[in-house]
Amino acid sequence: MKRRIKITLPPGQKEVVLLDFLASRFTYHTRDQWNERIAEQRVLVNDTPAAAGRLLLAGETVEFIAQDVAEPPVCFDIAVVFEDYDLMVINKPANLPCHPAGRYFNHTLWALLKTRHCLEAPILVNRLDRETSGLLVVAKHPGVEAKCRAQFARRQVVKRYIVLVEGVFPDSLQARGWMRPDPESGVHKRRRFEPVALTPEPRTLPSPDAPPGGEWAETDFRRLNYVNGVSEVEAILHTGRLHQIRATLHSLGFPVVGDKLYGPDPMMFVRFCTDSLTAEDRRLLRMDRQALHAMELEFRHPGTDQLMRFEAPLPPDMAAIIVT
């Protein structure tokens, strides 16, 4: 499949030369390669071929088809756990992005569902990070998506994860508090959990005093096993915030095994992005990806209202860490 990129310059955008804009923002081609594509009229500004020296203004649209862009290797070994006319339940492997972003387009679950499984417009109801394995729901029609999302919004879906963390985790813990951007981190993606309650009894009502950018988050944790410095922990989500499990555990002092963003060294993610992880980094990480697996999903079928429960076994790479 071909990826069409279309960008509208935001309000307040300063004048910028077309070639400069492309070469600085889309670095998968060199400046000379972009110059060639512009000369071949493969780049449009406001639906019209433009010259390399064309000044771009706020509100104008730049469009081109991304091709000859090498995508990073991924794992395509998805398993269809359930399928009918309305939906699919997929067991996604680690190292497979859900949606196109950055350098990933054809190497995504979304593209795989279109090409291998012939879904014209797959809609991923819930999403997993590229490195997270496990279960997710794919709606085949917008109406099905709406009914499924309504169950997630009303907290009627059981979402159980298995996660491996460093250290001896408590027997059980109910974490209630705020998720928000981490103001102390130089990585804009990183978030922080600020607890309001860590109690044996669930707290379901948020505090009225939300910090700036705060989103209420609730997760129940239970330790299942402890082997060689690593705890196997069950995590049940009651809300669905970005990086909820990983950021919560890191803020509580239990970083997820293999996690570069919320790992033992705050600079490890930078080294990972520049392909400069050290041998010591890899030793501390223990495995190549974050040890997080969406093991169980329970929800009602959007068409029949039948209660459906699915479980995906722990992947071999995580199981190998906790072998006694």
- For 78-130, what is each residue's pLDDT tens digit? 999 999 999 999 999 999 999 888 778 888 999 999 999 889 899 999 989 99
Give the model's confidence band at 270: pLDDT under 50 very low, under 70 low, under 90 confident, else very high: confident
**Helices and strands, number each (H, E), in the chain:** 8, 17
Query: pTM of whole model > 0.85?
Result: no
Element (H, E) at 193: strand 191-199
Q: Is the pLDDT of residue 323 over 90?
A: no
Proportion of the chain above pLDDT 70, given as a percent? 96
CB atoms within 10 A of CB 169: 24
Tokens of 110: 């979304």
Q: How far apart are CA 264 and CA 284, in angstroms?
A: 8
CATH superfamily entry for domain 79-154: Pseudouridine synthase (3.30.2350.10)
Task: State residue 183's pLDDT score.
Answer: 76
Would you give the DSSP letter of residue 272?
A: H
- pLDDT, residue 200, reads 58
Architecture in CATH for domain 3-66? Roll (3.10)
Read off the DSSP letter of residue 1: -
10-38 confidence digits (pLDDT tens): 988 889 999 999 999 888 788 998 999 99
Fold of 162-290: Pseudouridine synthase (3.30.2350)
Name the residue ranges covered by the structural domains of the chain.
Answer: 3-66, 79-154, 162-290
Beta-carbon contacts of 128 under 8 Å, excluding residues fewer than 6 positions away, are: 92, 98, 134, 136, 294
What is the C-alpha to C-alpha distance for residues 38 and 44, in angstroms, rounded to an integer? 8
pLDDT of residue 92: 97
Better-scored residue on pLDDT, 295 or 143: 295
* Residue pLDDT, tens place only, 181-196: 887 776 778 899 998 8
The predicted model gives 62-67 an average pLDDT of 83
For residues 59 and 15, the answer to whether their CB atoms sit within 8 Å is no
CA distance 190 to 273: 14
pLDDT for 203 equals 53
pLDDT of residue 89: 97
Q: Are 190 and 262 spatial neighbours (Cβ–Cβ below 8 Å)?
A: yes
pLDDT of res. 74: 92
Predicted pLDDT at 204: 54
Q: What is the pLDDT of residue 106?
A: 82
Are domains 3-66 and 162-290 of this chain identical in fold?
no
